[in-house]
């Protein structure tokens, strides 16, 4: 079966490409940056295009010929950088989504699996977070991800393309960014540990996050492309169904901690994953505690 992954050289996208190749899918990849050779799978076909540029859609449509499913992961990620650059994020994230959806309709793609984010929930006192809660994004990134969900639902109704949106909760794992503007807290902690620096914690560290292993996110995408129970614009949480404070995560590293100024962020995230279990027959498999401990052991062996 032929599939397309957008953003296929990113953290989650490259893990998804590798798994699809392992499962003998014919994989096409579109990304606007193919410079990282370590994220290239030689058994997939790569194409460098900016999906936010409508002038590229003719070439994209040719790539979509005979494609069954599209996994749309291409996006500028992270909350804080989107606050610093809302226009750049809007141009990239929103236009790329509507453009690839339209190209999929024109090319008779069967199913479109959209990568959304728990950022659409914003701050909420009710836990766990359920898909029917009113969205309240606190950043341009969260708002853009929510609008992508709306687009998917609209296209499913108006253009008769099967769509499903997956809201990821704090994804970590192999291939994650270590350091830099696009790193999440676990990647930042590893970078600081390896550099001999204290772990920097925003605020008091009591904020809680539901951390989700990238392999589980990959499995959710593949199941979402195959399940006969979805395809009508559904939105599904993809989380571990439990959470940890940032202090608890930092304690796993056994490194000095340093507390710095807080940023605007939710106090807690925790996914209700019943829908994903029921509709995709999906279950998370990996604990963040055990994964971090094993990674630290592996680093110490090097």
Write out the catalytic residue numbers. 141
Does residue 20 contact residue 223 with C-beta atoms inside 8 Å?
Answer: no
Torsion, Cα 229 235 239 245, to 10 degrees, reads -160
Does residue 243 contact residue 269 with C-beta atoms inside 8 Å?
Answer: yes
**23 upstream amide cis, omega within 30 of 0:** no
Does residue 116 contact residue 168 with C-beta atoms inside 8 Å?
Answer: yes
Q: Which is nearest to 292 in space by CA: 217, 213, 198?
A: 213
**Alpha carbon distances (Å) from 53 to 49, 56, 223, 259:** 8, 6, 30, 41
DSSP character string of 16-83: HHHHHHHTT-EEEEEES----GGG--TTSEEEE--TT-GGGHHHHHHHTTT--EEEE--S---HHHHH
Structure tokens at 109: 């793609």
Pairing state of beta strands 111-117 and 162-168?
parallel
Residue 80 has a CB neighbour count (10 Å cut-off) of 15
Q: Which is nearest to 27 in space by CA: 225, 193, 175?
A: 225
Does residue 265 contact residue 118 with C-beta atoms inside 8 Å?
Answer: no
Torsion, Cα 4 5 7 8, to 10 degrees, reads -110
């Amino acid at each position: 079966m032929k599939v397309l992954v957008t953003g296929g050289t990113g953290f989650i996208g490259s893990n998804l490409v590798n798994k699809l190749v392992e499962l003998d899918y014919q994989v096409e990849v579109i990304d606007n940056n193919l410079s990282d050779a370590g994220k290239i799978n030689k058994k997939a076909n790569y194409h460098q295009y900016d999906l936010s540029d409508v002038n590229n859609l003719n070439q994209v449509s040719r790539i979509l010929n005979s494609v069954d499913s599209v996994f749309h992961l291409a996006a500028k990620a992270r909350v804080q950088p989107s606050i610093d650059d809302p226009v750049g994020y809007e141009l990239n994230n929103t236009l790329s989504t509507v453009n690839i959806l339209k190209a999929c309709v024109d090319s008779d793609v069967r199913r479109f699996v959209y990568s959304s984010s728990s950022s659409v929930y914003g701050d909420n006192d009710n836990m766990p977070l359920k898909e029917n809660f009113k969205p309240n994004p606190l950043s341009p990134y969260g708002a853009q991800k929510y609008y992508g969900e709306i687009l998917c639902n609209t296209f499913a109704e108006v253009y008769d393309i099967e769509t499903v949106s997956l809201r990821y909760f704090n994804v970590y794992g192999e291939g994650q960014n270590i350091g830099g503007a696009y790193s999440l807290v676990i990647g930042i902690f590893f970078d600081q540990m390896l550099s001999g620096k204290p772990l920097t914690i925003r605020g008091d560290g009591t904020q809680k996050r539901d951390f989700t292993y990238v392999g589980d996110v990959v499995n959710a995408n593949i199941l979402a492309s195959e399940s006969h129970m979805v395809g009508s614009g559904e939105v599904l949480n993809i989380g571990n169904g439990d959470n940890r404070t940032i202090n608890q995560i930092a304690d796993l590293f056994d490194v000095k901690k340093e507390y710095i100024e807080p940023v605007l962020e939710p106090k807690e995230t925790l996914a209700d994953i019943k829908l994903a279990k029921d509709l995709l027959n999906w279950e998370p498999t990996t604990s963040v505690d055990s994964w971090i401990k094993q990674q630290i052991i592996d680093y110490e062996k090097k």
